[in-house]
Amino acid sequence: MWRMLPAILVVGLLVTATPSTNSGRQGPKDNKDKKIDIVSITGCLREATPNNWTLENATDPVPSVANAPPAKEIPPAPPVGKNSYRLIGVSEFNLPAHKGHTVIIKGLFIKAAPLSRVNMTSVTMVAASCPAAAK
């Protein structure tokens, strides 16, 4: 027992001298305001430059789920908004097939300046053309 006493003392000192692993950090509850929302946005799909896609004349983002909308949620007439968004995560989608169409884009909304971004989870065609821009 007496031989183990120095080892026990060293371990005891290390435990009391080691700072808490969470000191000064934000816990999960503190980060709840930084949650990225899944939204649905309807607008005109444009290719600004090669492989740089935007949604123009787009509606405001509304809370949604990541999946494509059911048929009953597709508007009968394409709505026109005043927003523009940069689309990211586009490689999984055949966006050239929808170029110049009014589409519903769903994805993670990333608010940023000068242009907010949407990390896409789905694309659904609303109309084969884009309505005139809102004034």
pTM above 0.75, yes or no: no
* 3-class DSSP assignment, residue 120: strand
* 3-class DSSP assignment, residue 86: strand
Name the residue ranges covered by the structural domains of the chain.
Answer: 33-127
Pairing of strands 117-127, 83-88: parallel
Q: Single out the residue of 67, 105, 66, 98 nearest to residue 83, CA to CA.
A: 105
pLDDT mean over 126-131: 93
Place of tokens 């005043």: 82
Phi, psi of 64 (to 5 degrees): -155, -170
pLDDT mean over 7-31: 45
Taking a C-beta distance cutoff of 8 angstroms, is the pair 39, 69 a contact? no
Match domain 33-127 to its CATH number in 3.40.50, 1.20.120, 3.30.870, 2.40.50: 2.40.50
pLDDT at 3: 54
Segment 20-74, tens digit of pLDDT: 444 444 444 555 566 778 999 999 999 989 889 999 999 999 999 888 888 888 8
Give 1 or 43, the one with higher predicted confidence. Answer: 43
pLDDT at 85: 97
Q: What percentage of the chain carries pLDDT values higher than 70?
A: 73
